[in-house]
A and B are shown apart, each in its own frame.
Chain A
Amino acid sequence: MIDGGHVALRAPNWVGDLVMATPVLDAFAADARFERVTIVVRAHLVPLLEDAPWRERVRPVAGPREELEAYAELDPDAAVLLGNSFGAAWRAFRARVPVRAGSALNGRRWLLTHALVPPTRGGRRLPIPSAHLQRDVAGLLGVAVPDLHPRLWVRPEVERQVRAELEAAGLRAGERYVLCAPGAAFGAAKLWPPEHFAAALDRLHEAHGLRALIGGGPGEEELMDAVARASRHESLSLAAAPRDLERLKAQVKGSALVLVGDSGPRWVAAAFDVPCVTIMGPNFPELTASSLERCRVVRLEGLECAPCLERTCPLGHHRCMRDLTPERAVAAADELLAAGPGR
């Protein structure tokens, strides 16, 4: 029995997919049919959900074993799988959650009680936005998601603290900045060369007076410094500064523009309506074709090998990224900035 029951939402493991899923989390939390809603999420992603109105419903799990333990402890009536991994479905099945809803991808159809098959052509899956897929999964439990605009929350004191940290690191008072996140957790194939990032940042500084702020996740320090070194103007690398997802939210929210690869900060920018230029290489643009109101996806059309979805370029030339010129990114940024601030 779902009505009056306990629903466990298994959130995706990627930053971007988790931000995309926030409208679904919101809709479940607001649905009065459920007595209890728990959001099961990887512990390292929890700072992203800080300050959400349903924050107390978040149950962090460190890994697969803890996820199984969480199911055993929570004893939910239903598990809603908002990611597409086989492991998440397998663990819900092993935990004997009575209702298991999700996409029938990655061979997990038989593990699910309620499933959906995305559109196909010639028997092969056609790419559709992950946000659409997550909304369709919510529909399997009778939950209507009012809109797909991602949403995140950050407290004013965190914003003030982060601004103070940035100013202590060299940002001038009141100075507008472009936040650049050159890394990508997915793999090297998604990386735009640092000199391209640097050239784009230089032109944004010259044309719009935006100071370059270069951030990134753990392990991306070398890349961040490489972009800073290649830049002709005085950019600010955050490689040595404290960095986490909660700070990232405040940094994005305070920025005039976000310049990013095809990675999580793009979706943080969408949540705060901050203009964003995203550089896409080996991915299908169709998979992320939502929340495009203030986002421009810059990619090279016409390459026979793209999109390959590989983590490293299998051909070694990495043309999808190398041949993508900084001018394209700057033109997209010019268009967004001319349209005015998002907020």
Chain B
Amino acid sequence: MGLPIIKPKVAFFDFACCEGCQIEVTNLGTDLAAVLGIVDLVEFREAMTETTTERIDISFIEGSFTREADRKRLEDIRNRSNIVVAYGSCATIAGINALKNRFSSEEYKNMVYGKDMNMPHLDSQEAQPISAVIKVDYKLHGCPVNRNELAKLIVDLVHGKEPFVANSPVCVECKLRETVCRYDVGDYCMGPIARAGCGAPCPADGIPCEACRGCWDHPNLDSIIEVMTKAGVPADYAKVKGEMFTHHFFKEKDKIQR
């Protein structure tokens, strides 16, 4: 999908999230000036007061859909935009927010609000990715997104180039950078089922991959539970270990009995 104009109008929007992916935009440092040189930033509430009523070429949406009240705003963004990019795992796969989906709304409201849980204005449903509500043209995974990948996506879209979405397990990237496998140092890791593209920074930093980009297209969910159990993760916990970012993958596969 190409864009016919030189300086496309770009906007950033956010829903239920930590806004860390927007922070990653500011973390581009002076490279941000270069990005601003090729796009016309028209709306970005966290950093700008300006808004637009004109048609938007590329809208970036961060955050999950967690309440009906946000549906209209999402539909409105879709109607105003030529291209919609869900960026950050809250938007692409419901991310960390989906962890609460392990419980019923009664349960999680009670855990946080206790006696106030039944106040009528407390509205929060199951966390869902943006694609559950509107058509999403591109997904940029990651918690947070990799800012260089984000900059590259913008450059690709501006130049009409189809963006690359990694579709292999994180293990591939650990091998490429010669990181010792977490399983070889007595740890567990979600790498075998996790979507790559991040460059595998976590195992290189000495912590397991938590699959923050969700699963790649052909994850062996049975096998990862078995592998983790063999690595010493208690069998019950191995079943739910992957839920930090991949709750809905497991749920869809009906792997978790609750």
Are A and B associated in one complex? Answer: no
